[in-house]
Structure 1
Amino acid sequence: MYRAIYLVLLCLPLYAGAAEALRIGVSGSFTGGSAPMGLSMRNGIRLAAEDINRSGGINGRPLLLIERDDQGLSESGIKVASELTLHQRIIAAVGFVNSGVALASQSYYQQAGIPAITAVATAPRVTEQFAPPKYPLNYVFRVSASDAQQAPLIVREARRSGLSRLAIFHDQTNYGRLGQQELVKAMADAGLKPVYTGQFRLGERDMIPQLRQAQQQGAQAILTYAIGPELAQIANALAQMDWHPQLIGSWTLAMSNFIDDAGPNAEGARMVQTFISDSSDPQRQAFVARYLRTFGGRRIPSAVSAAQGYDSLLLLAAALRQARSTDGKAIVNALENLQAPVNGVITTYRKPFSHDKHDAIDLNVPVIGKLQQGEVVHAYASERTQKRRQ
C-alpha cells in the first residue's frame, strides 16, 4: 500500500523551530482503475498545501499531509481510515474518491470526531450517513457534485438534445448502482422510463450483447454511471457496431483513461463537470498551467478531481483559521459557519455549509462538458466565459 508523508519543502524555512505541523490525512485511489481521479485529487491538495504553507500556514503552523492509497477498494479504505484515525494523530482528513470506499470508511472519522471532507465521491449518502437528527454532529463534508445533482443534469442534457428514448449503462459498484437509481428518479421526474438498463462488472470486456439489446429498444442515447476503463469499452463497442447514440453521463466521462482508451470513439461524449480546463477565467487558467508545470503531462488526468481537491483543502484551512483550534467539534462548527468567502478555483464559496447542509457545491455550479479531439471543453460557449459563482 502506498505510504507517504508530504510536507511542502519550499516552505520549511518558514517554520524552522516553530510549532508542530498540523497533520491532515489524505486518502484516495492512487493505483488501480480510479487512479486518474485519485492522483489528480492528491496533486490538487498538494498545490493547496503549498499555497497555505507559503502564506504562513494556519495560525503559524504548517500543514503536513499524511497520504495513503486505498486502491479504490472498500477493505483498503477501512484499513487506511483505521490507521489514520488511530495512529497518525491527524486532525482532519481530505480525499475519498470512490463512493463505496467513502461509505465504508467514513464511520471511523465520525466515531473519532475527526472532520473528513470528501473531494471526489458523489453518492448522496456520503453526506447523509451521519446527518442530524440521528446524529447530533455530522463530521463528513463534501466538495463535489452529488449524484442527486448530476443525474437530473444528465437527463436534462438528453432532453435538451431532443432525445427521449434513453438507455442506462452502469457498473455494479456502489457508485454505479446508486447512480443508476438517481438516473431512474430523474427520468421519472421528466416523465420518462429507461428503454433498457445494462449493468456490468469492473473489468468487463464485451459490452456488445447488452448494447445490441439497447439498440433493439430504439435507444437514442446511452446514459452512463461507471469509471474510465469500462466507459471506454462502451464507446469502443459502439464503434464496432457502427451505432452512434449520444453518450451522456456523470463526470467520470472526463477521466483520462476513458479518453485515452477510447481514442476517437470518445468524440462527442457529454458529461457533468464542476471544472473544465478550457475556461477563460484567469484563476482557472493559472491553476491548470501550474498543475501541468508541477506534475507534467499534456492535460490533467481528472481536472475535476484536481480542482475539488484543491478547494477542499482551502475550505478546511479557512475553518482551521477561524476555529483557532484542532478540536474536531470546533472545526465542524467553523465549517458550518464560515464567516469569510473562500475563493476557490471552482467557485467563490460563501457559507457553503450549514448544520443541515454538508455539500458545498450548489446546483448552479456544474456545467456540461464534451469531448472534442481528446480534450474536455465546454459544450456551451456561454458557460466558458466566467467562473461559476455561488
Structure 2
Amino acid sequence: MPSASPFRSWLHRFAPALLALTLGAGAQADDPPGPIRIGVSGPFTGGSSPMGLSMREGIRIAAAELNAAGGILGRPVELLERDDEASNERGAQIAQELLQAGVVAGLGIVNTGVALASQRYYQQARVPVITSVATGSLITKQFLPPQHPENFVFRVSANDTLQAAMIVEEAVERRGLSRVAVFHDATNYGQHGREDLERALAERGIEAVAVERFRLRQADMLTPLRRARAAGAQAVLTYGIGPELAQIANGMARMGWEAPLIGSWTLAMSNFIDNAGPNAEGARMPQTFIQEPTTPRRAAFLAAWREKTGSERIPVPPAAAQGYDSMLLLAAAIAQAGSTDGDRIREALEDLRGTVEGVVMTYERPFSKTRHETIVRPADIYLGEVRGGHVVFAYEQDRQRATRP
C-alpha cells in the first residue's frame, strides 16, 4: 500500500478551494460546533445486504481517511448508519429519523423503491442526498423544474437506461441474437428495469419473445424458464438481485439450457455467484468498477479494503467503490461551500471545482445544475463476466481502458 493515504493523495490534486481542509479550518460561524453528521442508509441484512454492506464499508473507509487527514472544515465526520432492510417504508422512516438527528447530507440507498420513497424527505428538508448504489432511471428525475426549482438528489451509480442499452448491445449487436427473454423481479427496480430493457430492444426493432415477472424469494424458476425456452429465446436478460438470479441460473442448468445469461450489474453480487456456483460462469453484466488494481488509485483502495476488513473479497465491488467515491464528492462539496448548509452544499455539488480522484473514475465537474448523474455515457462503464467464481473484464479492450486514470 502506498505510504500516503489515498485521501491525502487526492487532496494534493484538488483545487485551492479545498485549502480549508488541509489547513483544518473551522466551519462558518453559523455552523454548530462538533462533528459533521452524515446519514448512511442501506440494506445491511437480507437479500440485498451484499450491496449494502459493501457500500457501507466503502463509505467508512473514505470517512476514516478524511478524519485521519483532519476531517472536513476542521471537524470530524460522524456517520449515522441505519439498516433500511430494503423496505420502502423503513427507508422513508429512516430518512426522517436521520434528518431529525441533524445530518447535513445523506449517502447510500441501494434499492430503487427505497430511494424513491425516502429521498423526498431530504428534498423537503433541502438537504442533499447522494445515491451511492440504486440505479433506477427515475431517481434523479423525481424533483425537477418547474415544480421543484432545486433538486437535492444526486447519484454516482450507473442508471438503468445506460445499463439496459449495454445489456441489449451485448445480446443483439455483439452476439447477433434477436430472440430474447426478459426476467425481472416484482420490485420497483425490476419493473423499471424491464421497461428500460424493452425500450432498448424496441430501438432495434425487437420485442422480447417472453417477459417473466418473479417474486422476491421465489425458488422455482423452472416453469417460466420452460415457457421462455419454448418461445424460442436465445438468451435470458435479467433485472433482479442475487438470490433469485441464482435460481434462474440453477434452473437453466437443471434444464440443460445453455443460453447466455446477461443482466444488470447485480449479476456481480456475491450471493448470486455463491448460490449459483458453476452455473454462474459466463454471466455478463455492466460494471462501474471491477476488482482489479488497474490504476494506482484502485490499488490503494483495494489495499485499504484488505486492511480494514481483513478480506480480499469485496462482496459487490461496484457498491464499495461507489460508496467510497460518494463520500469523497460530498466532502469536496462541503469544503468548497465552507458550510454545512444544505443549499450551499447543493450549489457546490452542482459547480464542483477542481478534481476528485475516485475509484470509479476521476471526477471533474461531475454534476451541474441540470445533470445530477456522474455516469452519463456507456464509455464510463465496463462489461463484466463471472469467471472462476469472481467478476473479471469480459473484454480485453475494457481492461485496457480501465488502466487509464
TM-score, length of structure 2 as denominator length? 0.90
Q: Secondary structure in 2 aligned to 1:262?
A: helix
1:1-390 alignment runs, 5 A limit: 19-86=33-100, 88-159=101-172, 160-363=174-377, 364-387=379-402
* Equivalent residues of 1:53, 1:62 under 8 A apart: yes
Compute the displacement of 1:279 (Å): 4.6
Identity of aligned residues (%): 56
Compute the displacement of 1:53 (Å): 1.3
- Residues of 2 paired with 1:265 and 1:302: CA distance? 18
Compute the displacement of 1:388 (Å): 7.4
Counterpart amino acid of 1:50? A
Corresponding residue for residue 5 of structure 1: none
Corresponding residue for residue 3 of structure 2: none
Distance 1:389 1:150, change over 3 A: farther
Compute the displacement of 1:286 (Å): 2.4
Q: Secondary structure in 2 aligned to 1:376?
A: strand
Compute the displacement of 1:389 (Å): 7.0
- Residues of 2 paired with 1:386 and 1:171: CA distance? 33
* Equivalent residues of 1:365, 1:389 under 8 A apart: no
Distance 1:26 1:388, change over 3 A: farther
- Residues of 2 paired with 1:285 and 1:337: CA distance? 29
Compute the displacement of 1:164 (Å): 1.6
Q: Secondary structure in 2 aligned to 1:385?
A: helix
Structure 1 unaligned regions, length at least 5: 1-13
Kindly provide the CA deviation profile for residues 313-345 of structure 1, in whole angstroms up to 9, marking residues without a partner as x.
110001001000111111000000001111101
Counterpart amino acid of 1:356? T
Counterpart amino acid of 1:193? E
Corresponding residue for residue 7 of structure 1: none
Counterpart amino acid of 2:163? Q
Distance 1:235 1:94, change over 3 A: same
Q: Which moved more, 1:300-309 or 1:124-133?
A: 124-133
Instruction: Count the aligned residue pairs.
Output: 375
Kindly provide the CA deviation profile for residues 250-306 of structure 1, in whole angstroms up to 9, marking residues without a partner as x.
000000000000000000000000000025222212212321331133410000000
RMSD over equivalenced CA pairs, Å: 1.7
Counterpart amino acid of 2:348? A
Counterpart amino acid of 1:121? A
Compute the displacement of 1:54 (Å): 1.4
Compute the displacement of 1:163 (Å): 1.6
Corresponding residue for residue 10 of structure 1: none
* Equivalent residues of 2:295, 2:404 under 8 A apart: no
- Residues of 2 paired with 1:153 and 1:47: CA distance? 31
- Residues of 2 paired with 1:66 and 1:361: CA distance? 27
Q: Secondary structure in 2 aligned to 1:39?
A: helix
Compute the displacement of 1:217 (Å): 1.3
Q: Secondary structure in 1 aligned to 2:374?
A: coil
Compute the displacement of 1:208 (Å): 0.5
TM-score, length of structure 1 as denominator length? 0.93
Counterpart amino acid of 1:238? M
**Bigger RCO of structures 1 and 2 (CA < 8 A, at least 6 apart):** 2
Distance 1:164 1:388, change over 3 A: farther
Q: Secondary structure in 2 aligned to 1:65?
A: strand
Distance 1:282 1:187, change over 3 A: same
- Residues of 2 paired with 1:95 and 1:332: CA distance? 17
* Equivalent residues of 1:278, 1:384 under 8 A apart: no
